[in-house]
Each structure stands twice: as structure tokens, then as C-alpha cells.
Amino acid sequence: MDISVIIPLLNEAESLPELIGWIVKVMDENKFSYEILLIDDGSADDSWTVIEQHASANSHIKGIKFRRNYGKSAALYCGFRAASGNVVITMDADLQDSPEEIPVLYKMISGENYDMVSGWKRKRHDPLFTKKLPSRFYNRTARMISGIGLHDFNCGLKAYKSRVIKSIEVYGEMHRYIPVLVKWAGFNKIGEKEVMHQERRYGTSKFGIRRFIRGPLDLLSVMFITRYGKQPLHLFGTLGMIMFLLGFVLAAYLGINKLVAIHHNLPARLVTQSPYFYIALTTMILGTQLFLTGFLGELVSRSSAERNAYQIEKEI
């Protein structure tokens, strides 16, 4: 099979018929063999009824329905596991992503040998302060931290080789940073394509004010996991040793300073009367706690069933 199109959705009954018809039209015009996987993330409207109707009329259409809302990452995870196409394309169900982009994305994966291609909505039809500016900030930060030169990490329109999506695990709300997970899995040929962004015609956005808090936390989480997930002591142990040594040096300075004063018969107050003593003590305690945190994390990591799960490219 050439293409699997994965569409996570929540309360998109109004847009689904037009979206499905549009995708089918593009696939038939380009003579692709394909499947459309519609993942209903606990919709409260008639979305599943629409999926059932189209699935019964077209064997290329398949559906998965969650009992309750789990989030976009969970929907993508299940879609990735179920996909059987050589190229996997994800897109949103709100008609803001155009199916007309599918042939070019497919060519970039199958013909130009990209592991992953991410869409870039250069011109966005979104509110400036609630979506455009936060998106620019998050993308700039993600580029700086991850070293991946994409302009739009969270664009729903993406294309992957099949083996790429089978090698990553999307969970929590990590769908925002799938390119980072892909790079961590050892796939370094990540491309970008400028795509059309259309105005929303039906329904409302499913992402509220919570994304302003969850976005940075998810970025910190994915960067920690990709860099230190199997060796947490390298991070916490280093920070702990630095803090402990800083506190120890400060405490030693206070002690030596008092001994020098006593040696020269100068007045010297108690070390415990100096506020710097308590700063030094607190710093050493925090350093010790950070080191122990890393040590405990290392024990947990060593007990993990995936501690030796490595991505093997080839064997002979």
C-alpha cells in the first residue's frame, strides 16, 4: 500500500464528509493505493456516525473510536500502530490542512528519501496573540534546544516513512515535538515543506489556554528524555556536584577567614552568625538532593524493560 492517511479528530462531524471526499478525490486522481484511518478521540457529536457511514461505503476508510477523550498524542499513537502504508501522512480534521499537499509530500518521502517531512504554515489564518505569537516563540525555542531547523514543529500535516512511525512512541502530549522523537530514534533526514493553511469553517479550536503551560513543559520533558532518559545521573549528578562544591567552597572560606582572624588576634564572630553560612549549607543540601535524585533515577532506568532497546538499522 502506498499511503496511510491518519486523521485524529474530536467533534468534527460537520467537516468530515467534505474532508473524506477531498482526500478520496486526490488519491484517485493520482492512482495511489491508500487507506484513511479516522481516530475519533471521544467525540460527543455525530462524528462516529459519519465515520461508520463512509466506512461502509468505501473499503479504504477505517475508524477507531476511543471511549473517552485521551488527546491527540494517544490518537496518533493508535493510528501509527494501525497504519500499513509505505508512507504515512497525518493531518487535522478541521479542513485547515489541504489534501492537495499529499502527492508532493509522498514524492518527498518515496522519491527524495526523506525520513520525515513537516509542513510549514508560513501564512496562518489564526489570531495573532493567542496562536501566532505563542507558536513563533515555541518554534524558535524548540529549534534552539533541539537543533532541528523546522519553522513549524506542531503543524498537523506531516509525512513519514513507515519504519519511522513504527520506531517512535508518542504519548502524553508529545505530538507537538514529534520531530525531536524522530531525530532521537536515529532518523536525521528531516525535511520541511511550505503548505497551505486554510481558515476554519466549522467548529472551534480544541486547544485552549492550557497549551501555554503544557507546551514549554512538554519541550523540557522531551528534551530530558531524549538526552538523559537512560542516564539521569549525568544531569542530576553533575548539577548536584556543582552545587555541593560551591556550598563547600563558601563554607570553607568562612571557616578559613575566621581562623586567620583568630591567628592575628582580630575580633571574629561565629561562623553561624554569617548569612553566607546558611547559603552555603542550603546549597550543599540541595546539591546532595540533586545527586540522590539522579542516583534514584539511574536505579529506575536500570530496572526498565527498555534499558537496552536500541534502534538497529541492519543485520547480516
Q: pLDDT at position 95, please?
A: 92
At 303, which amino acid appears?
S
167 CB-near residues (< 8 Å, 6+ apart):
185, 186, 187, 311
Residue 311, pLDDT > 60, answer no
What is the CB-side half-sphere exposure of residue 271 using CA atoms within 13 A? 18
pLDDT tens readout for residues 127-162: 666 667 777 888 888 888 888 999 998 899 999 999
Q: Which residue has the higher pLDDT, 300 or 119?
A: 119
Q: Which three cell numbers stand for residue 178?
A: 514529534
CA torsion, points 37, 38, 42, 45, in degrees to nearest 10? -160
- Nearest Cα neighbor of 238 from 156, 298, 149 is 298
Distance of CA 14 to the CA centre of its chain: 29
Residue 262, pLDDT > 90, answer no
Predicted model pTM = 0.77
Helix, strand, coil percent values for the chain (each to nearest 5) = 50, 10, 35
Q: pLDDT at position 211, please?
A: 63
* β-bridge mates for residue 61, sequence order: 36
- Nearest Cα neighbor of 174 from 225, 105, 228, 209 is 225
Q: What are phi and psi of 39, to 5 degrees?
A: -105, 105
Q: pLDDT at position 14, please?
A: 94
The CATH topology of domain 3-228 is Spore Coat Polysaccharide Biosynthesis Protein SpsA; Chain A (3.90.550)
Residue with cell 572560606: 253
Position 302 confidence tier, pLDDT thresholds 50, 70, 90 = confident
Q: Which three cell numbers stand for residue 98?
A: 489541504
Average pLDDT in the 205-209 region? 60
Q: Which residue has the higher pLDDT, 67 or 310?
A: 67
